[in-house]
Structure 1
Amino acid sequence: MRVIVCGAGQVGSTIARHLAGERIDVTVIDNSPEQARRADESYDVRGMVGHASHPEVLERAGARDADMLIAVTRSDEVNMVACQVAYSLFGVKRRIARVRHAGYLEPIWRGLYADNQLPIDVIISPEVEVARGIARRLRTPGAFDMVPLAGGRVQLLGIHCTEATCPVAGMRFRDLPDRLPDCGFVAVAILREGRAFVPRGEDQVRCGDDVYVVTEPAAVDRVMAAFGHAERIARRVLLVGGGNVGLHLAQMLATEAPQVMLKLIEHGRERADYVARELGAGAVVLHGDALDAEVLEEANVAAAETVVAVTNDDETNIFASLLAKRAGCGRVVTLVNKASYQPMLPWMGIDTVVSPSAITISSILRHVRHRAVAAVYTLREDFGEVIEAEAQKGSPLVAAPLRSVGMPAGMLVGALVRAGEVIIPNGETLVQPGDRVIAVVSYNALHAAEEMIAGEPSAPAASPA
């Protein structure tokens, strides 16, 4: 398989690194000689300098033989034209573009992306994806992460194990099903002291761990209580930042949770006026600096149950979150782009960190995986993913009970969906062909895991999502 990645920024270079690690032939194009050189020297990819939408550049990148083009430059227009050129001149089969501007995403313009117009198979909108991710977290307040899988029949929860409230601290993971028989979950990954790993049965839950579990929606409250969480859904929410993420999130909350009393702080006067017009009676919009004590007092930050900081500046988001906690706010959700900041934030008292690049990477990778893989969620860019895949007839996974199939180290099955019913598995569970398999897989085990599920060497998805 050959893939061209347009754009060698954080998202493009990370995508290229993942694909190269799976023995895919990758070429990365960037206008910046430094970025292209870094990609060429850092990963097993070919980095080249050029304008990603120019035909001669795409031809030099090997577009005539490419199976897929992923356009994630900083320009929506370059991304869209690159897809057009790749399709019209070189017949590239699959084309994925990152598109940020809200005007391009209106439902009434969806016909623009048909094959006879702008032929883009998959459009990734980071701002919309981030807003959806935050809205999901607000619906499960005790969790720092929540992702629906298998059409909503299964949920992936990220749970903090705090010293004061975690009843399962000190228990071995193999003992959790017996000690908590009414919960029905599988712990699939642990983040501990900056390190992520798939737990073994003899490992113990420790205070300070972040635990990812897979469970059914009906069991979420019981699972959260087992880990010492009984937080209520916030009714008073303060948003910091009225950019695309803040506006999308405010509109989602106004539609999906009209009981929420919503306030929003926006630094720019014109943008604040625009957001106020867009939201109407759905929110109170304040113009001002969220780092100004008087503005926070006017917003009554002390009474807010959750503050969500989603400006375009990491430092503003971090300090606004810290000021909100200091003022008495119970929970903060903080958008942070710089990966180097993220390990420090839990120590600072920030409850939930949202990474736009991780969300974008997850959205793109799900369209690159083996045709049997339906969904992908990146847990950490240096660790692995949660995958949702269909077990194939004749694959090793269906040959014996889970305890005996010889899964690679770094793979753990968290749930099965069979004929619409959810099965929380144990070692004796036998996977059947056609089952939807929810599993966590570390990157060093990904290729082996795909072959175990599919029963043949991996190949990319062929139909548009």
Structure 2
Amino acid sequence: MRAIVCGAGRVGYGIAARLAQEKADVTVIDQAPALIRQVTERLDVRGVVGSGSYPDVLQEAGARDADMMIAVTASDEVNIVACQMAHSVFGIPTKLARIRAQSYLDRRYADVFSRDNIPIDVVISPEKEVADAILQRLTTPAAFDIKTFAEGRIWAVGIRLSDDCPILGTPLGQVRELFPDLKITIAGVSRGNRFFRTSSEDQLQTGDEVYFVAERSRVDRAIQILGQDQARARRIIIVGGGNIGFDVAAALESMGQSKIRMIERDPARAAQIAEKLERTIVLQGSGLDREILREAGVADAEAVVALTNSDETNLLSAIIAKREGARRSNILVNEPEYADLSRSVGIDRVIDPRAITISTILHHVRRGRIKSVYSILDGKAELVEAIALETSDLVGKPLSEANLPSGVIIGSVMRGDEVILPRAQTVIEAGDLVVLLTLKEHVSAVEKLFRVSVEYF
């Protein structure tokens, strides 16, 4: 596959790195020579300095032979024009663009991004993706990571095990027999700097971060059994009233039963969102101001969510809030260094918008009948949702005889309305929806399992 990535920022770099790892032919375009120099020195990709909205720059990048354009610059307008040029001048089959401005995303203008108007095949909205991720963490606070599949019927959940987890030291092959009410597949474990796909002989340890897959209706019970049960937060403080903060508050209002306070520094923005939100109290001020936090009721808050544009503000406001009595903290961070620091100072959950955006884009890069992809632990593994076809090597034989790659484990199977917890004797049928975990080095093998022939999006 030949791909052009327009934009060499954190998201563009991450996409280029992932595609290069998978031996794709990648060219990165950016107006900053320093960024292009960095990406070409570190990755096996070509670099072109210039704007992806200019036809001559696209020509130099090899647009005539490209299969895909991924436009993720900081400018919505550059991304839009780059995709238009990719379509009208060069006939690139697939165009993806990151679009942030809410005006472009208004449902009233849903037809704008279509082949007959602005030919963007996939519009990625980071703010919406991040807001959804935050809501999932607020409603399931024991989890540090959540991804839903099969229209919400199947969940993949990441939790950290404490020393009171009852399955510690038990071979995973015996867990279902000893705990028949624990209807999950424990798929992967992060231990220290190592992430591995589980086997029946593995035993879990205190501090392990595990990913399990289960039917949605079984998740809450599974978390209870694993000793990580936490009640959903009802009293919530949101620091930052930007698009993400507003979307989270509006969604919490629609769900009901939450007491929401929002802190926004900009007076005009604070007034604007106070008019739009119905049951959220908006306070104008800084999330670093203890008096403002106290006025928001921080001592009784069950969760503080810091969503400003500043990693430093998010980190410090969450630290102050917890010292003032807040039970849990969730923060948005863009720099990996802050993510590591946050965990060391007691921040409960870190949301990385780059990782979320990359996972969304990867779904549309994958080959075959793959419906969705979620990258975890900075690309060490992927959770994949795919449809099994008649020609797949998975179909028509027990999983114990399917010769799955060593780094792949089936987490759940959905057949019609039935969610099946896979066992050694489970037989995959054509049309089944399969949710699996794969280590990064086995991604191409997974693609082969779910395609009839070589097929590009």
| Range with greater deviation from structure 2 (89-98 or 169-178) | 169-178
1:275 pairs with 2:273? yes
The secondary structure found in structure 1 opposite 2:314 is helix
Separation (CA, whole Å) in 1 of partners of 2:332 and 2:376? 16
Q: CA deviation at 1:73?
A: 0.4
| Range with greater deviation from structure 2 (341-350 or 57-66) | 341-350
1:27 pairs with 2:27? yes
Q: CA deviation at 1:388?
A: 0.4
**One-letter amino acid of the structure 2 residue matched with residue 142 of structure 1:** A
Q: CA deviation at 1:344?
A: 3.8
Correspondent of 2:397 among 397, 400, 412: 400
Which residue of the partner structure matches residue 326 of structure 1?
323
Which residue of the partner structure matches residue 208 of structure 2?
209
Q: Deviations over 1:53-88 (max 9, x none)?
A: 001101111111111100000101100110111111
Which residue of the partner structure matches residue 258 of structure 2?
260
Separation (CA, whole Å) in 2 of partners of 1:344 and 1:186? 31
1:50 pairs with 2:47? no
Q: CA deviation at 1:455?
A: 5.7
Q: Deviations over 1:153-181 (max 9, x none)?
A: 21111112123x42222222222212221
**One-letter amino acid of the structure 2 residue matched with residue 48 of structure 1:** V
Q: CA deviation at 1:418?
A: 1.0
Separation (CA, whole Å) in 2 of partners of 1:411 and 1:250? 38
Q: CA deviation at 1:399?
A: 5.1
Separation (CA, whole Å) in 1 of partners of 2:166 and 2:344? 21
Q: CA deviation at 1:340?
A: 2.5
Q: Is the 8 A contact 2:368 2:447 kept in 1?
A: no
Which residue of the partner structure matches residue 75 of structure 2?
75
Change (3 A) 1:341 1:404: farther
Q: CA deviation at 1:230?
A: 2.3
For structure 2, the 5+ residue unaligned runs are none
Q: CA deviation at 1:105?
A: 0.8
Question: Runs ≥4 in structure 1, deviation > 6 angstroms?
Answer: none
Change (3 A) 1:21 1:456: farther
**One-letter amino acid of the structure 2 residue matched with residue 191 of structure 1:** S
Correspondent of 2:346 among 328, 331, 349: 349
| Range with greater deviation from structure 2 (138-147 or 416-425) | 138-147
Q: Is the 8 A contact 1:241 1:310 kept in 2?
A: yes
**One-letter amino acid of the structure 2 residue matched with residue 306 of structure 1:** A
Q: CA deviation at 1:197?
A: 2.1
**One-letter amino acid of the structure 2 residue matched with residue 273 of structure 1:** A
1:91-106 equivalence runs, <5 A: 91-106=91-106
**One-letter amino acid of the structure 2 residue matched with residue 390 of structure 1:** I
Which residue of the partner structure matches residue 363 of structure 2?
366
Q: CA deviation at 1:221?
A: 1.8
Q: Is the 8 A contact 1:159 1:227 kept in 2?
A: no
Separation (CA, whole Å) in 1 of partners of 2:310 and 2:196? 31
For structure 1, the 5+ residue unaligned runs are none
Q: CA deviation at 1:456?
A: 4.8
| Range with greater deviation from structure 2 (187-196 or 3-12) | 187-196
The secondary structure found in structure 2 opposite 1:367 is helix
Among all aligned residue pairs of Structure 1 and Structure 2, give the percentage whose two residues are the same amino acid.
43
1:49-448 equivalence runs, <5 A: 49-163=49-163, 165-255=164-254, 257-279=255-277, 281-398=278-395, 400-448=397-445
Q: Is the 8 A contact 1:396 1:455 kept in 2?
A: no
Q: Deviations over 1:285-344 (max 9, x none)?
A: 011111111111111101111111111111211121122222222211111111233234
Separation (CA, whole Å) in 2 of partners of 1:329 and 1:208? 23
| Range with greater deviation from structure 2 (246-255 or 190-199) | 190-199
Separation (CA, whole Å) in 2 of partners of 1:234 and 1:3? 43
Q: CA deviation at 1:121?
A: 0.9
The secondary structure found in structure 2 opposite 1:441 is strand
Q: Deviations over 1:216-271 (max 9, x none)?
A: 1111121011111221111111101111111111111112x122111001112222
Q: Alignment RMSD, CA only?
A: 1.5
Which residue of the partner structure matches residue 460 of structure 1?
456
Q: Deviations over 1:24-79 (max 9, x none)?
A: 21111011111112222211211111111001101111111111100000101100
Q: Is the 8 A contact 1:155 1:215 kept in 2?
A: yes
Change (3 A) 1:296 1:194: farther
Q: Is the 8 A contact 1:95 1:120 kept in 2?
A: yes
Q: Is the 8 A contact 2:263 2:285 kept in 1?
A: yes
Separation (CA, whole Å) in 2 of partners of 1:329 and 1:316? 17
Separation (CA, whole Å) in 2 of partners of 1:92 and 1:170? 53
Q: CA deviation at 1:191?
A: 1.9
The secondary structure found in structure 1 opposite 2:112 is helix
| Range with greater deviation from structure 2 (259-268 or 190-199) | 190-199
**One-letter amino acid of the structure 2 residue matched with residue 387 of structure 1:** V
Q: Is the 8 A contact 1:194 1:343 kept in 2?
A: no
Q: Is the 8 A contact 1:37 1:48 kept in 2?
A: no
Q: CA deviation at 1:128?
A: 1.0
- For normalisation by structure 2, the TM-score amounts to 0.97
| Range with greater deviation from structure 2 (326-335 or 408-417) | 326-335
Across the two proteins, how many residue pairs are aligned to each other?
457
Q: CA deviation at 1:137?
A: 1.6
**One-letter amino acid of the structure 2 residue matched with residue 145 of structure 1:** D
Q: Deviations over 1:82-104 (max 9, x none)?
A: 01111111111111100111111
